Amino acid sequence: MVPRASIRNVPHLERVILVGALRFAEEVTDLCRMADVEVAAWIEGLDRERADPTHLPPILWVDDQAAFEPDLPVLPAIGPVRRMGIMRRLVGEGRRLATLVHPSAVVSPTAVIEPGCVVCPLVVVGAHSRIGEGTILNRGSLVGHHTEVGRYSFLGPGANVAGMVTLGEQVYVGAGAIIRDHLRVGDRAVVGMGAAVVKDVPADVTVVGVPARPLERSAEAPS
């Protein structure tokens, strides 16, 4: 039997709209199936050509989405942290944010998962941690205790953020990266896959390697 995921914060939810229309939307659609939640539509915000109303579920162009079942909440299904712009726009247009948590995720009862998060299989979130609005915790990522993850961030598969760490907003942590306890990572920073972060990372800086060092030029968060 397929384990059931759950939608938190919107009781008795039966249908939801995903924000995103590419491959990660397929993944979040699967998670929704596991929660017995129907995906009513996807929203595309970058390329009008991809907004295909004949696709199932229909792909809505962002400018037109407000007319489509306005009571349905949205879930992010765009990995890159630039999803914040479109998500905030939709909230400004009156959409609620749903939060999806896979049943194999272990979330401390003292942790706070803000609205609009997607918590994938095998994630662990420690005591008294806070996961900011619209953040995606990808498969098997670990968040230690008393750690703050700012809004619209992304932890890649197997990323390991230790305890008492503070990540700013729109931070991208690549697959398998490790961040040492007590550190601060600034807004929009990018941590490359496999990096071991042993010092604070300033805002807008990309770090890679073991120990992690800044790339000379900052990378845009991966798409």
Ligand X SMILES: CC(C)(COP(=O)(O)OP(=O)(O)OC[C@H]1O[C@@H](n2cnc3c(N)ncnc32)[C@H](O)[C@@H]1OP(=O)(O)O)[C@@H](O)C(=O)NCCC(=O)NCCS
Burial of 98 (0-12, 13-18, 19+ CB in 10 A): buried
Which residue, 168, 186, 176, 174, is CA-closest to 221? 174
Instruction: Work out whether 22 is an interface residue with ligand X (CB under 6 A).
Output: no
Residues from 44 through 83 that contact ligand X (CB under 6 A): 79
User: Of these, 193, 196, 198, 203, which contacts ligand X (CB under 6 A)?
Assistant: 193
DSSP state of 80: S
Asked whether the beta carbons of 72 and 16 are under 8 A apart, the reply is: yes
- Interface with ligand X: number of residues (CB under 6 A): 16
User: Of these, 45, 144, 156, 158, which contacts ligand X (CB under 6 A)?
Assistant: 156
Asked whether the beta carbons of 16 and 40 are under 8 A apart, the reply is: yes
Smallest separation, CB 70 to ligand X (Å) = 32
Catalytic residue, from 12, 102, 128, 145: name it. 145
**Active-site residue 145, yes or no?**
yes
Per DSSP, the residues of 96-162 read -B-EEE-TT-EE-TT-EE-TT-EE-TT-EE-TT-EE-TT-EE-TT-EE-TT-EE-TT-EE-TT-EE-
Q: Considering only 29-37, 55-63, 97-105, 214-222, which stretch makes contact with ligand X by CB under 6 A?
A: 214-222
Long-range contacts of 185-189 (CB under 8 A, 24+ apart): 187/150, 188/81, 188/221
Instruction: Work out whether 211 is an interface residue with ligand X (CB under 6 A).
Output: no
Q: Which is nearer to ligand X, 58 or 157 (CB)?
A: 157
Instruction: Work out whether 157 is an interface residue with ligand X (CB under 6 A).
Output: yes
Q: Considering only 14-22, 56-64, 142-150, 187-195, which stretch makes contact with ligand X by CB under 6 A?
A: 187-195
Instruction: Work out whether 194 is an interface residue with ligand X (CB under 6 A).
Output: yes
Tell me which residues touch ligand X (CB under 6 A): 79, 138, 156-157, 174-175, 190, 192-194, 206, 208-209, 215, 219, 222
Q: Which residues are catalytic?
A: 145
